[in-house]
Amino acid sequence: MIRSYAPGFIFTTSLPPATVAGARASVIYQKHHVGDRALKQVNVRTVKERFAALDIPVVPGPSHIVPVLVGDAGLAKAASDKLLHEHSIYVQAINYPTVAVGEERLRVTVTPRHTAEQIDGLIAAMDTVFTDLHINRISDWEKLGGRANVGVGKEDVEPIWSNAQVNTSGQPRMLRNGETAVVDTGAVQVVRKSFEDLLGPVELSETERMIEAAVMTSAVKHVAEALPKKVKVPLTPINVTIPSTVAVLA
C-alpha cells in the first residue's frame, strides 16, 4: 500500500550513488569496447535467420529487437506461459495498447552472453510452442494478406549494424556453454581511471603490468591480422615473461 501510493516511488525516487556509479562505469566501458555490442548483433542476426528458416514470423525491423508475431492476445499470453513453465524460458507477451490489436507478439531479448546452446533451446522451444498452439506462421500470414509487415514481402530489412561495423572487434564468435565472455582490460583501466577523482589512483603490481603488456601485444597482433593484406602494420613485439603461477589477491 505504501509503495503504491508513495509519490516518489515511481516518478521522483533518486538513485543510490552506487547504482549511478555502476551505470556510469557500464557506459564508459561500452564506449571503449565494441565487442559486446558487436556480438549482440551477431546473436540477433542468428536468431532472426533461424526463426525465418522455421517459418516463424518476426516483425521486420533493422534493430536488435526480435518481435515474434502471434496476432492474438490470448495466444500471446498462452505462448509466454508455455515457454516459461515447460521450457524455462521467459519471453514477455506484448499486447494492446503497447501494440495494435491483432499485432500481439512475443518480444525476445537476445544478449551477447547468450550461448549457442541457449539459442538452440530457444529456437526449438518456440517451434514447439507454435506447433502446439497452432499459431500462424509466415506462410499462414501470406495466405491472410499479411499482418504487421509479415507475409507481404518486407521481411528482408538491412540491420542497423553493417558487416564492417560488426567485424570492427575482430569477427565476434558466439559463446558456448562454459566459455567465459571476453573482458577488455584496456577498457576496464579507462573506467577505473575515470573514477580516480573519487577513489584515488590505482597502483598496478609488477605481475599485473606484465599481464597487461601481454594482453596489449596480443590485441595489436589480432587487429593487424584482421586488416586487409595490402595494409602493412609494423609490429613491435613486447618481450614479456609471465610467471607460471600468478597469485590473484581478492
Q: Where are the domains of the chain?
A: 36-164
pLDDT of residue 245: 46
Write down the CATH superfamily of domain 36-164.
Aspartate Aminotransferase, domain 1 (3.90.1150.10)
In whole angstroms, give the CA distance from residue 194 to residue 197: 7
- Grid coordinates in use for 184? 577488455
pLDDT the model gives residue 42: 94
Dihedral of CA 118/123/126/131: which sign? negative
Residue 205, all three cell numbers: 603490481
| pLDDT for res 104 | 98
Mean pLDDT of successive 10-residue stretches along the chain, which has 250 residues: 56 77 94 92 96 97 94 97 97 95 97 96 98 98 96 87 84 90 90 87 74 69 58 51 46
For residue 58, give the DSSP letter: B
What pLDDT sits at residue 223? 55
Question: Which pLDDT value is given to residue 153?
Answer: 87
pLDDT of residue 14: 72
pLDDT of residue 227: 56
Of 193, 181, 182, the residue nearest 24 (C-alpha) = 193
